[in-house]
Amino acid sequence: MTTASLLRAELRELGVEKGMTLLLHASLRSVGPVRGGGRAVLRALLDALGPEGTLVVPTFTEGNSLTSRAYLHMTRDLTRHQLLSYREHMEPFCAASTPSQGMGRLAEEVRVTPGAMRSTHPQASFAALG
């Protein structure tokens, strides 16, 4: 099982430096088991970037658009009545509370961390810490 300190060392080997801005889309499954889970991975990233660095992650919400691939996939077999009902109940995007869709657990860890800022684009938002 990997530890946060080992992750910090590996991030340095990959060229992550204190003070930089890092745009990251990562799979916790690909990282493998980490003691402390996604929270520990986030802590390792923030420690590697230091207090002057910034971590940015995609927090996309493709399902709340009438033209996105996700919407088209979810509604392709609906009747007209079902489609109208689906549209009526589609939740509006709220940068503060709408979870990301399909971006993974790490993106959600960043999004819900106190101090994180999220852009307001209803489909292609990003969240940042630092």
pLDDT digits (tens, 9 = 90+) for 74-89: 899 999 999 999 999 9
The pLDDT, as a whole number, for residue 95 is 94
Stated as kind and residue range, the H or E segment containing 13 is: helix 4-13
Distance CA 88, CA 121 (A): 21
Domain membership of residue 15 (yes or no) is: yes
* pLDDT score, position 20: 98
Residue 49 lies in a domain: yes
Say what angle helices 105-112 and 37-49 make with each other, to 10 degrees. Answer: 70
The 10s digit of each residue's pLDDT in 97-120 is 999 999 999 999 999 999 999 999
Q: Is residue 103 part of a domain?
A: yes
The encoded tokens of residue 113 equal: 């961390």
Domain containing 45 equals 4-61+98-129
Residue 66's pLDDT band, with cuts at 50, 70 and 90, is confident
* pLDDT tens for each residue of 4-57: 999 999 999 999 999 999 999 999 999 899 999 999 999 999 999 999 999 999
pLDDT score of 1 more than 90: no
Is 55 part of any domain? yes
Q: Is residue 56 part of a domain?
A: yes
Q: Quick one: average pLDDT of 53-78? A: 91
Residue 34 domain flag: yes
Is residue 84 situated within a structural domain?
no
Q: Is residue 36 part of a domain?
A: yes
Quote the number of domains for the chain.
1
Q: What pLDDT, on a 0 to 100 scale, did the predictor assign at position 91?
A: 86
Return phi, psi of residue 20, to 5°: -85, 165
